[in-house]
Amino acid sequence: MGPNRIKRLFTGLTTGLDVTRLRVSRRTLLIGGLLTSTSLGRARAQTATASHAIAMQGTPALPAGFTSPPYANASAPKGGQLTQGVLGTFDSLNPFIVRGLPAANIRGYVVESLLARGYDEPFTLYGLLADSIETDAARSYVTFTIHPAARFSDGVKLTAEDVVFSFSLLRDKGRPLFGIYYSKVTKAEAIDARTVRFDLTGADDREMPLILGLMPVLPKHAIDPAKFEDTTFEPPLGSGPYRVTAVRPGETVTFTRNPDYWGSVLPINHGLWNFATIKYDYYRDGNTHFEAFKKGLYDVRVEQDPNRWQTAYDFPALRDGNVVKEELPYGLPKGMHGLAFNTRRAVFANVRVREAILELFDFEWINRNYFFDRYARTASYFDGCELSARGDPATAREQELLAPFPGSVRDDIMQGKWLPPVTDGSGRDRATLRRAFDLFAQAGYALNGTQLVHKATGKPFTFEILCTTREQERLALVFVRHLKRAGIDAQVRSIDATQFERRRINFDFDMMEYRWEQSLSPGNEQLFYWGSGAADQNGSRNYMGIKSKAVDAMIAMMLKATERSDFVAATRALDRVLLSGFYVVPLYFPPTQWVARWTRIEHPSKTSLFGYLPETWWHKGSS
């Protein structure tokens, strides 16, 4: 899953137990299977015990009695302020709907979920609003028991009715992602005030109990469903550690820690949520954003530009030791960062055209002249981990999975021999240009003087690259120069973040830059990224418009895999199908996280598997 995905994504966004792990009695299963309806009615064929945590595969790493996450400092002082600088803007405080550009971190900071992610494991969740979870071996249902102390910030007790209300509201009126996920639930029921059960019969999806565990829980008593889909600047009510206390639309959001936060004593929260206030200042321009950091107007900066990282951090505060630069390791897949083709556009409908354009992207020249050779080239949708098909021939299991879809994977990709083209770095590589012209010819294009045109219609080959930041615009302008060598008249269109988001949601673009974050346990979000059902669903992240039976089948296999080996095989097979479609021009990724901070802000010595986590940091002057 990804920022986070996402991450933080999602973003979005642990550790587990060896004791009190999920288990099913084989004897009970056997007896249950032999019972008849006439003798014992509708007796359940499976039993399970409640646990404090659940892992997607295997067992949680932390035992039931753990005291704090290993990536946090349980003794971290509380107090002070963290100021974060965000490049962009916002026009809503509701991150759960399609409309609007939401402010950062409402989810997690203000609105909590039933379970919390452990950031040192691929996909393990621990008790948060729910202090226990129960499911069976087949994961045909899941039951959550609400923590008796759980409260919204207005003091109202959180109940199972709030959970069912949130499920229905998000499924019916939330972002498409919620509808895709929650449509697999056949029944949601509040058993009593503290117990909620979801029936997943027929879902054939082992990830669903975890997906439901990450569902945002909203207050039934404070939300009007009829107005839920409207953008708003009204501070949301949640159960989380912070409340929104100040808003300047498009400019600033301030979070203040709730002194009566119900979950402060939970083990999963020990060492987290240390700042008394967290302020997010928004900047429209990248240079202004960086200059503000140099002046100390915000505290922590994650650098995305290797050129700036290499040359622009020589300023007084850094020389004096008041700012430090750190390169932090992280173990997540590097995801797919690329220039996405909108295959809904006729100009990009032919896969040979898309492959030809990939040939014209001179990564070696760009990396050397713009990025000090600090980037690595993206060559997989799951780069940097065992889930990637990069460099490896398909296993027997992968071949078996792909056999019903002949032609869905190219031979060189099946053999693990394909990589993005490597140029001589001159910016004028003739070999890649020749290969591009050969591919264009196969697609029906040829040069007419200095212009690439369709041979049958005479129509020039032209398209637009949509951008919203100066960094995107700079890359697009370089690429336009490379494309011009092949007679392609590409244009760059730069628009503000709000317009960009609107056009992206509605798939109103030819090509744009995007990054799909990935986790070590990708699952349902893959349907949202690449599934056929999401291709025509505004607000999904299937920006390319992929409609592939092979893609859908590989995702389905990922979701129902019970063994890690089968899961890895299905994910690698998915990677091969996506690569064969040439849906993006793969770009690049930094091998580490580049983070600069003012030394008034400190962090734990251990970096999590997910990388740096601001929620575990603290203010040096606090007590």
DSSP states of 50-100: -BSEEESSS--SS-TT--S-TTS-TT----SEEEEEEES--SBS-TTSSSS
Q: What is the dihedral of CA 411, 417, 418, 420, to 10 degrees?
A: -170
Per DSSP, the residues of 54-68 read: EESSS--SS-TT--S
Cα(96)–Cα(14) distance, rounded to whole angstroms? 24
DSSP of 332-362:
S---EEEEEE-TTSGGG-SHHHHHHHHHT--
CATH top class, domain 26-227: alpha beta
Cα–Cα distance measured from residue 7 to residue 415, given in angstroms and rounded to the nearest whole number: 32
Domain with CATH 3.10.105.10 in the chain: 336-433+509-589
pLDDT of residue 8: 36
Residues of the chain short of pLDDT 70, as ranges, are: 1-47, 623
Angstrom CA distances, 612 to 3, 59, 60, 378, 604, stand at 12, 24, 21, 22, 9
Cα–Cα distance measured from residue 594 to residue 109, given in angstroms and rounded to the nearest whole number = 24
Rounded Cα distance, 309 and 289, in Å: 14
Phi-psi group of 318: left, alpha or beta (phi > 0 → left; psi -120 to 50 → alpha; rest → beta):
alpha
Q: Which two tokens stand for residue 130?
A: 């729910």
Q: Report in angstroms the alpha-carbon separations of 330 from 60, 333, 376, 515, 518.
A: 20, 9, 15, 17, 13
Residues sharing a CB contact under 8 Å with residue 364, sequence separation 6 or more, in sequence order: 422, 423, 424, 425
Helix pair 549-560, 564-580: axis angle to 10 deg: 160
Q: Write the DSSP assignment of 435-503 as a string of letters.
A: HHHHHHHHTTEEEETTEEEETTT--B-EEEEEE-SHHHHHHHHHHHHHHHTTT-EEEEEE--HHHHHHH
Helix (H) or strand (E) holding 368: helix 363-371
Q: Report the alpha-carbon angle 603-374-3, nearest 5.
A: 50
pLDDT confidence of residue 389: 97
Specify the DSSP class assigned to residue 534.
Answer: G
DSSP 155: S
Q: What are phi and psi of 498, to 5 degrees?
A: -65, -45
- In 3D space, the residue among 585, 531, 538 whose CA is nearest the CA of residue 558 turns out to be 531
- Whose structure tokens read 């002046």? 295
Tell me the C-alpha to C-alpha distance, in Å, between residue 305 and each of 363, 371, 492.
15, 7, 20
**What count of other Cβ atoms lies within 10 Å of the Cβ of residue 41?**
8
Distance CA 388, CA 410 (A): 16
Question: Quick count: other Cβ atoms within 10 Å of Cβ 403?
Answer: 9
**Where are the CATH 3.40.190.10 domain residues in the chain?**
26-227
Instruction: Provide the phi-psi class of 539: left if phi over 0, else alpha when psi is between -120 and 50, else beta.
Output: left
Strands 451-454, 445-448: pairing kind = antiparallel
Q: Which of 473, 469, 88, 467 has its CA nearest to residue 283?
A: 88
Beta carbons within 10 angstroms of residue 149's beta carbon: 13
Which pLDDT belongs to residue 441?
98
State how far the Cα of 523 lies from the Cα of 219, in Å rounded to an integer. 28
What the block records as the tokens of 396 is 């027997």
pLDDT score recorded for residue 62: 96
**β-sheet with 115-117: strand ranges across:** 53-55, 124-127, 115-117
What would the pLDDT profile of 344-393 be if each residue is shown by its tens digit? 999 999 999 999 999 999 999 999 999 999 999 999 999 988 899 999 99
Give me the amino acid identity at 210.
L
CATH class of 336-433+509-589: alpha beta
Question: For residue 558, which phi and psi values (nearest 5 degrees)?
Answer: -60, -45
- Asked if 351 and 296 count as a contact pair (C-beta separation under 8 A), the reply is no
Residue 82 token pair: 């963290």
